[in-house]
Amino acid sequence: MDSILDIEDLSVSFDTPDGEVQAVRGVSFSLKRGEILAIIGESGCGKSVLCQSIMKLLPKSGRIKSGKIIVDGTDITDFKEKDMRKIRGDLMSMVFQDPMTTLNPTMPIGKQITESLLKHKKISKEEAKKCAIEMLDLIGIDNPEQRYSLQSYFFSGGMRQRCVLAIALALDPMILFADEPTTALDVTVQAKIIDLLLDLRDKLGLSIVFISHDLGVVARIADRVAIMYAGKIIEIGNVDEVFYDPRHPYTWCLMQSHPTLAKEGEPLKCIPGIPPIMLNPPKGDMFAYRSRYAMKIDFEKMPPMFEVSPTHFAATWLLDEHAPKIDPPVSLKIGEAHAE
Amino acid sequence: MSDDVLLDVKNLKQYFHINKDITINAVDGICFSVKRGEVFGIVGETGSGKSTVGRTIIGVNTLTDGEIYFKGQKISDKKIFNHNKSDIQKNIQIIFQDSTAALNPHMTVENIIAEPLIVNNILKTKEEIAAAVDENLRLVGLSEPFKNRYPGEISGGQRQRVAIARSIAIKPDLIIADEPIASLDISIQAQIVTLLQNLQRERGFSIIFIAHDLSIIKFLSDRIAVMLKGKIVELADTRELFENPMHEYTRSLISAVPVPDPVYERNKTIIDYDTSSFDGSGRMTEVSEGHFVLI
């Protein structure tokens, strides 16, 4: 079996005083061993909720409505908190956006790493310390022996994010969820963290679900890309397929609004309107309300996933055989969009 | 000084004395000028002093040393500043990164946009002010019903639009935009950048655009200054800077900008520049016309 994580038709809702907010609506995907899958979307599209629901870290008002979560062959959909504690960190781990708030400011870095080791494994404190120092060394912290006993405020933003990674990876998990891990960092630091993740994947055989809204970052790190909009995956495929041959109008819009892809002297093309509110979502294709290419059927019926290639799928009626042929407004050629 | 120079900053220093032992040299002797109708980008990493430059120009901080000339007047001089206070404050406006903190939560959008018009005595009658508020709301792409909303009731992108409406309401000559899009979503970023660009072309004001994102700066700016540890390490026309970067730090910044092109990204090497080795020594040298590098 080569897939380590299978999500089948997962729906997550939040109960609010105004009614039910459907944050994730029927999402299915699978993650292969050693693969990096990037999930791209605007804020509020449900990408973070998706990861939180797999980790079972949803706030109390959120619940998994339907669907299945299968991790390494085990169905964990109905796992209670007690069972989840055993597999969190061990089987799957999560890194959050802001390294400043993730770390405990009063606790030395080393202790935060050994905490989970001592809880999950039957090892002595000395062994745990040795493990933690090895871990710090692996993620590229110089002088790990000295830094082991320092608090997080001695560290720069990039080093803190490295420490957060060390904590997440201490138990050698198989899956890592990285929720915008580089958004709060400078570009040069961001590039180093991304290269570190790529390096760790090769060294540890880690599978990574990488959440981001930056197409540039995703282009560097991902093997496969899923584009999310209004709680659904609307396009998924290998990174080259999605970037060089995008099929969904929303993917086109995302690419057009990226400043490095803008032609000199031309204005940025932006997506009109705002994402829909997921309280009583409208019928049909949710993006139709903002799309230039919307057809009548888009407002009536939700499009299924059309197959573009065996690995590339998109949910838009434009791929239906009856739809008019439209030349995509973006045509990215290999090596065309670089900084020089 | 030629007439088309709007703002001239000479050897600006801004030190913060934390206590008797610690002084932070946030801005350490920088020189640049901004022409009329120009978009001047300042880029740099966290802690490079780029925001402090903006705050010192507008007078939030009292500068430690150096001179700032605005429309030929030395506004860094307290006396001259106080004498021309209303004119200066009318003509330099600032847009902050965090629109939640920048807008008073107890005021409606209408009052927020009307406030600078009233404070600066630009419009007198209620009708004129109401008309101006409508006009500015329309310019930033917000509709009438927003007038009665409070900042807490609208989205981040809409709040940033209100902040822009407030700053353009009194028709300033210079807008300092301090990371105005950093906290916004990618598609909303594009909307706000386009809005600023269109307004700038229509009205012809100058912008000092401060950001850490080189790709947005490149898109918007005519000239770019790269800052590191309180110094400008390179200053050039946008095209010149990207085609012919001279300073190693600029090169490393440009190489680190993520580009949405998977094949290019996978094969690209990122130039590593150890910022701890940078001591700020050297002189700004003009290597070609208008292209200055700290060597």
Interface test with B, best of A39, A98, A188, A227 (most B CBs within 10 A): A188
Residues 38-67 of A with CB under 8 A from B: 42-43
Model pLDDT, residue A339: 42
Place of tokens 């819009």: A253
- Inter-chain touch A340–B197, beta carbons under 8 Å: no
Confidence of residue B234 (pLDDT cuts 50, 70, 90): very high
Average pLDDT over residues B285-294: 92
- CB distance A285 to A294 below 8 Å: yes
Strands (E), chain B: 5-17, 23-35, 39-44, 65-70, 73-74, 92-95, 174-178, 206-211, 223-228, 231-237, 284-288, 291-294
Residues of chain A contacting B213 with CB distance shorter than 8 Å: 187
CA atoms within a 13 Å half-sphere pointing along the CA-CB vector of B42:
30
* Verdict on whether the full-model pTM lies above 0.90: no
Place of tokens 């909720």: A49
| Interchain contact A15–B (C-beta under 8 A) | no
- CB distance A108 to A148 below 8 Å: yes
- Inter-chain touch B260–A260, beta carbons under 8 Å: yes
The closest of B61, B282, B53, B218 to A259, measured between CA atoms, is B218
Check: complex ipTM more than 0.90? no
Q: Which 8-state DSSP code applies to residue B153?
A: G
Task: List chain A domain ranges.
Answer: 3-222, 228-319
Model pLDDT, residue B206: 95
Second CATH level (architecture) for the domain B5-294: 3-Layer(aba) Sandwich (3.40)
- Inter-chain touch A259–B263, beta carbons under 8 Å: no
CA distance A328 to A331: 7
CATH number, span A3-222:
3.40.50.300
Model confidence over B71-118: pLDDT tens digits?
988 998 889 988 988 888 899 999 988 888 899 999 999 999 999 999
Q: DSSP 3-state assignment of B180?
A: coil
CA distance A162 to A139: 6
Interface test with A, best of B265, B267, B275 (most A CBs within 10 A): B265
- CB distance A170 to A200 below 8 Å: no
Pick left, alpha or beta for residue B280 (phi over 0 → left; psi -120 to 50 → alpha; otherwise beta): left
Is the confidence at residue B233, as pLDDT, over 90? yes
Model pLDDT, residue A1: 54
Is the confidence at residue A268, as pLDDT, over 70? yes
Structure tokens that stand for A35 in this block: 């693969």
Is the confidence at residue A338, as pLDDT, over 70? no
Type of residue numbered A78: D
Confidence of residue B182 (pLDDT cuts 50, 70, 90): confident
Q: What is the mean pLDDT of chain B?
A: 90
Model pLDDT, residue A214: 87
The closest of B31, B113, B36 to B68, measured between CA atoms, is B31
Higher-confidence residue: A133 or A101? A133
Model confidence over A190-240: pLDDT tens digits?
888 899 999 999 988 999 999 998 899 999 999 999 999 989 999 999 999
Model pLDDT, residue A313: 95
Model pLDDT, residue B270: 87
Distance from CA of B151 to the nearest CA of A (A): 17
- Inter-chain touch B259–A216, beta carbons under 8 Å: yes
Residues A72/A74/A80/A86 CA torsion (nearest 10 deg): -50
Nearest CB to A215; choose among B155, B191, B260? B260
Where is B186: in which H helix or E strand?
helix B186-203
What is the layout of strands, in order, in the sheet containing B65-70? B23-35, B5-17, B65-70, B73-74
| Interchain contact B153–A (C-beta under 8 A) | no
Confidence of residue B30 (pLDDT cuts 50, 70, 90): very high
Kindly provide the b/e burial profile for residues A144-172, where b requires at least 16 CB atoms within 10 angstroms of the residue's own CB. beebbeeebeebebbbbbbbbbbbbbbbe
Nearest CB to A339; choose among B155, B254, B266? B254
Model confidence over A99-130: pLDDT tens digits?
878 899 999 999 999 998 998 888 999 999 99
